[in-house]
Chain A
Amino acid sequence: MKRDDTDADDAELAARAVLERAAFGVLYDRYAAPVYRYCYRRLGERAAAEDATSGTFLRAMEALPAFRGGSFRGWLFAIAHSVVVNGTRRRIEQALDDTHEAVDPSASPEEIAVANDDRRQIVQLLASLPEEQRRVIELRLAGLTGNEIADSVGKSVAAVKMLQHRAMQRFLRTLATPTAPGVEPNE
């Protein structure tokens, strides 16, 4: 691996990765964890998320010669989304059962209960969003910018802005009311 590979930008690495596996390795190191978490949010269990992550990077490596610039991260997450949607999917409720994995062990039982409740609410909110809004928010949580999300979902930046705006309005309403998550409060 070249000494400056870790500083190289995604586009340069993607161009070199067609012929140099080491360059692809750098891209993998950058995005394996975010891709895994994105898959986990969708699939709700570790084994399925690992399978989807493997499939994502395998497909990315095969499709790399066809990558024509733009946001590599957006392109990669588009592949991840395709793998998740087309692969085996577990129900989103599975994620609710696994939320204890991210709990801070130093927190008190009351804090854990509140945190779990908030997470449950947010996970249920994400699951209840329309598909496009959900995808935009999940890509935001994966660390993509607005432009990268537009690349990834194949929409204009303006369309992405509106999708995340509507999703956030829904989220704020849900947080403001004690009603069941995913259910529109009476206004």
Chain B
Amino acid sequence: MNEQGPSAADELNRLWDATLNQDLAAVAHSDAELAGAISALQAADDAPDPDHAFLARLRSDLLHVGEPALGHAPAHGQPLGLVWAAPAILRSRSFVRLAIAAIAAVLIIAALSGGGRWLSGSGPAPMVASAMASSVPIYPTAVPTSSKPALEGNGPLTSLRTNSSGPFQSQPTVVPNVTDATLRDDPTARGTDGLAFNWPLTCWGRSRRHSSTECGDG
């Protein structure tokens, strides 16, 4: 064996690769001493084969360990006999969570609107909740009565008011037009002390507890 230079190292490497690949032709044309040394080294390797029962047990453990922890489905269509229970569980859990969230949202909305309406009869404070939950616009709570229209003529706000088909439709956010006609048009506007109360939602809430006349039906 040539002990000098990288060529000897290359030769040894080539020979050992040929031995591993069972390339007999390459081995036959190589340094006999070197080939003999490799063979002797491999023959003297006394590491025993593993126990078959151990190998089978370890294989089974490896192929089933941590399966529920896997959070993704196989990328390929066929799972090749693997148990992919975890993704189904995760999908089911996600659906349940979504359903619970949807139910909770519905309950919150119902509580805000229904609860506000229920409590609105106890005073002006619950009106805040009623107003928040209502789709009907809310207007100033007190409107002074007057024998004459506060605004006469053809103001834009007046025209808006005149053209409305109902007491609370198409009204601006400010109600400047305070007239008797306005009060007559508004079935909910009744006042014995000079104030008219436009509480449509309050009347809706009261309708379950008071006579209809209190809400201005008569």
Contacts and interface: CB of A to CB of B under 8 A. Distances in A.
Interface of A: 1-2, 16, 19-25, 28-29, 32-33, 36-38, 40-41, 46, 49-50, 53-54, 57-58, 61, 95, 98-99, 101-102, 118-119, 121-123, 137, 140-141, 143-146, 157-158, 160-162, 164-165, 168-169, 171-172, 175
B37 interface: yes
Given A41-B47, A46-B48, A20 B76 contact: yes
A181 B37 CA distance: 16
Contacts of A36: 47, 49-50, 55
A28 B1 contact: no
Contacts of A144: 20
Given A29-B59, A32-B50, A161 B44 contact: no
A141 B41 contact: yes
B33 A172 contact: yes
A50 B50 contact: yes
B41 A37 contact: no
Contact of A58 (B21, B34, B65, B75): B65
B80 interface: yes
29 contacts: A19-B72, A19-B74, A19-B75, A20-B80, A22-B81, A25-B59, A25-B62, A25-B63, A36-B47, A37-B49, A46-B48, A50-B51, A54-B61, A57-B58, A58-B65, A118-B44, A123-B44, A123-B46, A137-B41, A140-B20, A141-B42, A145-B20, A146-B13, A146-B17, A161-B9, A161-B13, A165-B12, A168-B38, A172-B1
B8 interface: yes
A20 B8 contact: no
Could you tell me the dominant secondary structure of chain A's interface residues?
helix
A6 B177 CA distance: 90
B217 interface: no
Given A102-B46, A137-B41, A19 B54 contact: no
B33 A20 contact: no
Interface of B: 1, 3, 6, 8-10, 12-13, 16-17, 20-21, 33-34, 37-38, 40-42, 44-51, 54-55, 58-59, 61-65, 67, 72, 74-76, 79-82
B62 A24 contact: yes
A53 B82 contact: no
B67 to A, nearest CB: 8
B16 A146 contact: yes
B1 A162 contact: no
A141 B62 contact: no
Contacts of A46: 48, 51
